[in-house]
Structures are given as structure tokens and as C-alpha cells.
Amino acid sequence: MEHATPALIFPETVPSSPAVMNLLIFFSALSYYMPTESAGATYRDNNLINTLCREYAPAPLGDDLDRFNRLLREMELSRPDELSRLFSAAKAPMAPGKARDQDEISTASVYSALNKDAEKQTSIRYKERLWQARLILKLAEMLDRREAEVRQGLALVSSAEQKIFASLEGLGEAGTSDLSELSSLNKLRSSKADDNQLHGSSLRGSGMLLNLRMKAWAELYLADSQDFHPLILATANPESGAILLDGFENTWRQDPIKLFSLSMPAVDIPDMEEVWEQYLTSRKIFLEAAEKNMGYFARFLKEIACSAGSAPVNVEKISLLAENVSAWEKKVKIHFPGKETGFSKLDFFCFPGISFTELFQRLFHLEGPLYAHKPKSSTALLAILNK
């Protein structure tokens, strides 16, 4: 289709439903990485959203998958203060036929390693990096789940407290069942808070992990040799986008170019089949109404992505872009009333003459295989959903 504009989500390997739903208002399709080829897709039970999202493992583990999954299960059952030890001890397997002794290395092994061919050494180091990148991304998934559990627990406590206050205001005395519920929820909140203080807050830890998570995701990007590869990287995490924007500015000593911004309905609905149907129907009607504008944005972004230098800035193109942005704003306000949903901003940027391959290699000091579908002459496009 003329207005088809796909995107690749980063750095999440299990993107949230609200993020996907918001981004799909503009993008025709989304894809995201799995660290390994293990089962367990985010939307396994939702065929509706599966038609618009594609998950895949850019660097499958193959024969090493069972060992990797055993390590993950051990990490999942471990205390947070044990994760660093497990991670540092987790090494990628040696090449076939080479046994690894994790406790002792003989003099002969050291001598042999020092005399290996340089190309083979590079290959082994690269395999180690990919192994660790997968572990980082899986640990980030674990932290995301724990943060979600804490938020859910706090929300339950807040709801119970509101019921207690309402009872006190209305009746002068809270019901026994309400007080019991609040007491049990407070114990849950206290237990989680103590655990976070003892082992480091998962909320704080997740933020500290972001740069490492971005680097790990970049490793998978460079290892991605599949033909399907969207020109645009998209994120619903402004902090992740800022890492790339600031990194480009600091490394290349020039500002990334902001192309345009679009208002997006802040959609957030339960994961229910009938509600998904309603969402997809509303999305379809809106995209039909904005088809001409979508076609223009798709052509504009493709032209920018294929340019090897600065983005075109002639008056005619600026005027036409502004006209389509204005039309989009009017249509999105009509189809998604702000008083019901609120609005976010989807901001589009480009890195003139710099591809994401070059960007990731320079920012994170990475080396890896280069593939024909990631030409160095292309211009990287970045979309950031700001709430």
C-alpha cells in the first residue's frame, strides 16, 4: 500500500500493549526483537494484534538455546543480589568440540588460546558479546515484570484506601472487611518496599540499566541479517530516544533534524478481545480518513531515509509537509476526542547521512557483520512517542 509505514520497536523485547496500540495509530505494522527463539510472545493469545506485529529473533541461539534457558530459569529463581554473580559467571559456549572448564584453565589451554588465529578470536569474542546482550535483555524483561507487579500492588492499596476514606466520610466508621483488605495490602506493599530497599529498587535499577539495555539491543540490530528491515526505529520510551539523540549530537557535533510531530490519541484499554475489535475498527476508520496524509508521510520519510546528506528543506516541501500535518491534527481530534483519551506527541527525527548501523557502532563502540540491507549511505529515522 502507498501509505504503508512499518517500524521496528526498541529497546523493549516485550513491548507493552498501550505502547503498541498508540504507535499503530500511525504505523502500518510493527516488529520487535526476541533475544532468543524461545516461545512466549507478548500477544500469543491475541490474533487481532498479531496481524499487525511481528516478533523474531535476529540472532537465534540454535543448539545453545537449552543451556541459555537453564541459566535464565536459575536467574528467575535467584535473589536480586545473586544476579550479578550469575551474569558474570555466564559465558557463551565454546565452538563445537571445545570444552570449557569454568573453574580452572590449564597452562596448555592458555598457551593455545594466545596462539589462535586472530579471525577465530574475533569470532569467539563476537559470540560472547551476543550471548551477554541476550542475557541483559532478558534481565531487563524480568525487571519490567517486577516493576509492573509493584505498580499493580500500589494501585490496589490506593483503591482500598479510597474506599476506607469514602466509608469514613459517609458512615463515620469503616467496614471491617475494608480495614482487613487495607491491612493485608499494606503488608504486601511493605514487603515489596523492604525487598526493594534491601536489594535495590527495581524502578531505580531499571533506569540505571537503560544504557546497557540500549547497547545490548544495538548488538542484536547489528546481528540482524533478515531481509525485512523497517527504515524507522520507534520507541514509546523518551529516555531511550534521548540516548540516541544526545549521542549523535555529542559524537558528530551536529544536531539531529526534527522533521515533524503528530498528535496521537493516548489509547489505553484492557486486553479484552471485544475491546481490541473496537480499537481496530476505530483505527481502520481513522486511517481511511487520513489515507492521503499517510501516503504523503510515507513518501516523505522514504525520501529522507534514502538521502545521503541533509534533509530537503526547500520552501515547497516545508509548505506541503505543514499542510499534511495540519490535516492530520484536525482528523485525529475528530476521530479521537481529546476529552476522552488525551493526546501524546509522535516526534520524527533524522540523522543526516548516518545510518543506524554507523550510529550504533560509533555510540556503543561495537563491531559486527554488515549486511546489504543496511546501507551506510542511508539516513536513520527515529520516532519517539512522548506522553
For residue 291, pLDDT beyond 90: yes
> Which residues make Cβ contacts (< 8 Å) with residue 384, sequence separation at least 6?
234, 235, 238, 241, 346, 347, 349
What is d(CA 346, CA 30) in angstroms, rounded to the nearest whole number? 15
Global pTM reads 0.77
279 vs 324, residue with greater confidence = 324
CA distance 383 to 345: 10
Match 476526542 to its residue by C-alpha cell.
337
pLDDT at 281: 87
So what's the pLDDT on residue 371?
59
Q: How far apart are alpha carbons 236 and 72 in whole angstroms?
A: 27
pLDDT score for 266: 80
Question: Which DSSP category does 143 fall into?
Answer: H
CA distances from 256 to 253, 303, 369 (A): 10, 17, 26
Residue 104 pLDDT > 50 = no
Cα separation, 56 vs 221, whole angstroms: 12
User: Which three cell numbers, joined as nine digits, stand for 383?
Assistant: 520516532
pLDDT of residue 373: 52
Select from 359, 342, 346, 354 the least CA-distant residue to 379.
Answer: 354
Average pLDDT in the 371-384 region? 74
Q: Which pLDDT belongs to residue 31?
A: 93
- Are residues 1 and 28 in contact, defined by beta-carbon separation less than 8 angstroms? yes
Q: Which amino acid is at 153?
A: G
Query: Is 192 or 233 the better-scoring residue by pLDDT?
Result: 233
- pLDDT of 268 > 70? The answer is no
Mean pLDDT across 45-60: 76
Residue 188, phi then psi, degrees to nearest 5: -65, -45
Q: What are phi and psi of 354, to 5 degrees?
A: -120, 125
pLDDT value of residue 202:
35
Q: Which of 158-167, 304-313, 361-370 has the highest mean pLDDT?
A: 361-370
Q: Which residues contact 1 (CB under 8 A, 6 or more apart)?
A: 28
Confidence of residue 143 (pLDDT cuts 50, 70, 90): confident
User: Highest mean pLDDT: which of 156-160, 173-177, 293-297?
Assistant: 293-297
Contact 8, 32 (CB under 8 A): yes
Q: What pLDDT is attached to residue 306?
A: 87
Q: How far apart are CA 94 and CA 37, in angstroms?
A: 20
- My answer on whether omega of the bond before 58 falls inside 30° of 0, hence cis, is no
* DSSP secondary structure, 80-95, as one string: HHHHHHHHHH--PPPS
Residue of 387 and 198 predicted with greater confidence: 387
Comparing 209-213, 228-232, 344-348, the range with the smallest average pLDDT is 228-232
CA distance 264 to 328: 10
- Average pLDDT of the residues of the chain: 77
C-alpha–C-alpha distance, residues 111 and 158, integer Å: 63
Do 18 and 184 meet the contact criterion of CB atoms below 8 Å apart? no
Nearest CA to 260 out of 157, 382, 342, 87 is that of: 382
DSSP for 250-309, written as a single string: HHHSSPPEEEEEEEEE-----S-HHHHHHHHHHHHHHHHHTHHHHHHHHHHHHHHHH-SS
Give the residue with greater pLDDT, 33 vs 118.
Answer: 33
Q: What percent of the chain has pLDDT over 90?
A: 37
- Sorting pLDDT into bands at 50, 70 and 90, what band is 326? very high
